[in-house]
């Protein structure tokens, strides 16, 4: 199966990065290289694109697609959490731009064997990096009912989280839950029929919660986004595409705090806490897919693009910004 994934908001992303021919750019979620190939097109002989992905299938597909760019592209199999280390090994301290596309690829969803989809019956897997040992099967069968409830409530934002957890715990007493099909049927049984009839797929939120928990998606984003801003050179930009409110909230808050980190009391006329702005939020409101894109690619429906620009400042004390 070909690793095909239509890049979300391609033109908007490329415009947001303000690509320079001699710049260094990092795609921290390389995927099938849809965005990266367009970035590489804009680079001159002195430019460099570094592609990072933890998915072996993505690395293989992207390597083939980007091969024609030769030395302008370097590809590394890793998690974007290791971006600083990856760059350090290349003797690179700062970059001109960073892109994160946090969505699950169409390949991962459509390839039933990866276990991401609730529409196909397959082994419970959901690993972004198949080198890791733990799978979705381990979470579904080993987490306590209480742990499952909190996971589904917090990461899936499903109001039926308690009942879903209860049904999972009851079913696995009889036999281990092995497949996505089994789990989907359990979830359906835990949600009232009238709700199933009018809402989206009943398993969508639980599958999202398990995937986030297994791959530690929110923690990786929360723990590393601010550091990636530090990796930008003066005037460099980081563009992040999110696909659900939990991710978007993290990006929005970290960007906002990076712009105005001051914790001094409002009545202080001058900042004395020593926290210096890292730059500015370019997108006060997120950029959304156009109606034309949504018609062409329904999977872009929930996508939001936020952009931050690094601005290095030397002064440690500054007049407080008005609220």
Tell me: the pLDDT tens digits for 260-274? 988 888 888 888 888
Domain-embedded: residue 143: yes
User: Taking 50 as the threshold, does the pLDDT of residue 171 lie above it?
Assistant: yes
User: In this structure, are 39 and 122 located in the same domain?
Assistant: no
Say if 274 falls within a structural domain.
yes
| pLDDT tens digits, 51-97 | 999 999 999 999 999 999 999 999 999 999 999 999 999 999 999 99
Which tokens is 226 given? 């601010």
Residues 22 and 98 grouped into a single domain = yes
Where does a domain end: 158, 185, 215?
A: 215
**Residue 153 maps to which CATH number?**
1.10.150.170
User: How does pLDDT run across 216-251, given as a tens digit for each residue?
Assistant: 999 999 999 999 999 999 999 999 999 999 999 999
Average pLDDT of the segment spanning 198-217: 92
Question: Confidence band (pLDDT; 50, 70, 90) for 103?
Answer: confident
The C-alpha atoms of residue 319 and residue 323 are separated, in whole angstroms, by 12
Q: Specify if 2 maps to a domain.
A: no
Q: Is residue 226 part of a domain?
A: yes
Asked if 173 and 295 sit in the same domain, the reply is no
What interhelical angle do 34-42 and 10-17 show, nearest 10?
40
Could you tell me the residue range of the domain that residue 122 belongs to?
116-215
Instruction: Determine the pLDDT at residue 242.
Output: 97
Mark whether 101 and 224 lie in a shared domain.
yes
132 with 208, same domain: the answer is yes
Residue 167 and residue 183 share a domain? yes
Asked if residue 239 and residue 196 are part of one domain, the reply reads no
With a CB cutoff of 8 Å and minimum separation 6, the contacts of 108 are: 55, 114, 116, 128
CATH of the domain at 257: 3.40.50.150
> pLDDT at position 5, please?
60
Task: Assess contact for 222 and 237: CB atoms under 8 A.
Answer: no
Residue 164 lies in a domain: yes
Q: Are residues 33 and 94 in the same domain?
A: yes
- Shared domain for 83 and 137, answered yes or no, is no
Is residue 316 one of the residues assigned to a domain?
no
| 115 Rama sector, left if φ>0, alpha if ψ -120 to 50, beta otherwise | left
Q: What's the chain's average pLDDT?
A: 92
CA distance 42 to 20: 7
Q: Do 259 and 279 contact (CB within 8 A), yes or no?
A: yes
Q: Is residue 321 part of a domain?
A: no
Residues 136, 222 within the same domain:
no
Say whether both 130 and 211 belong to one domain. Answer: yes
* pLDDT at residue number 207: 95
> How many domains is the chain built from?
2
Q: Considering the domain boundaries, does residue 4 fall inside one?
A: no
- Domain closes at, from 191, 215, 239: 215
pTM: 0.90
End-to-end Cα distance, the chain: 53
Q: d(Cα 302, Cα 124) in Å, to the nearest integer?
A: 25
Where a domain ends, among 215, 242, 260? 215
The answer to whether residues 232 and 298 belong to one domain is yes
């Amino acid at each position: 199966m070909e690793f095909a994934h239509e890049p979300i908001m391609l033109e908007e992303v490329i415009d947001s990065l303000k690509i320079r021919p001699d710049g260094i750019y990092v795609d921290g979620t390389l995927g099938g290289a849809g965005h990266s190939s367009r970035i590489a097109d804009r680079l001159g002989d002195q430019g460099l694109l570094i592609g990072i992905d933890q998915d072996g299938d993505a690395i293989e597909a992207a390597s083939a697609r980007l091969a024609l760019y030769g030395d302008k592209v370097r590809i590394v199999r890793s998690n974007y959490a290791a971006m600083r280390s990856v760059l350090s090994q290349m003797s690179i301290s700062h970059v001109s731009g960073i892109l994160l596309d946090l969505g699950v690829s169409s390949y991962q969803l459509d390839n039933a064997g990866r276990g991401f989809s609730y529409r196909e019956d397959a082994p419970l897997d959901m690993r972004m990096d198949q080198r890791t040992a733990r799978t979705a099967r381990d979470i579904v069968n080993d987490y306590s009912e209480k742990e499952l409830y909190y996971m589904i409530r917090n990461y899936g934002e499903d109001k039926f989280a308690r009942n879903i957890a209860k049904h999972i715990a009851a079913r696995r007493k009889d036999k281990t839950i092995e497949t996505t099909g089994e789990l989907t049927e359990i979830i359906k049984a835990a949600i009232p029929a009238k709700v199933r009839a009018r809402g989206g797929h009943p398993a969508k939120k639980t599958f999202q919660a398990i995937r986030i928990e297994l791959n530690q998606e929110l923690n990786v984003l929360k723990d590393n986004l601010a550091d990636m801003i530090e990796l930008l050179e003066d005037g460099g930009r980081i563009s992040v595409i999110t696909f659900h409110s939990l991710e978007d909230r993290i990006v929005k808050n970290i960007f906002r705090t990076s712009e105005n980190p001051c914790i001094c009391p409002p009545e202080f006329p001058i900042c004395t806490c020593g926290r210096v702005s890292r730059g500015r939020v370019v997108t006060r409101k997120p950029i959304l897919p156009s109606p034309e894109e949504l018609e062409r690619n329904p999977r872009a429906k929930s996508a939001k693009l936020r952009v931050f620009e690094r601005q290095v400042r030397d002064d440690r004390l500054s007049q407080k910004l008005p609220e």
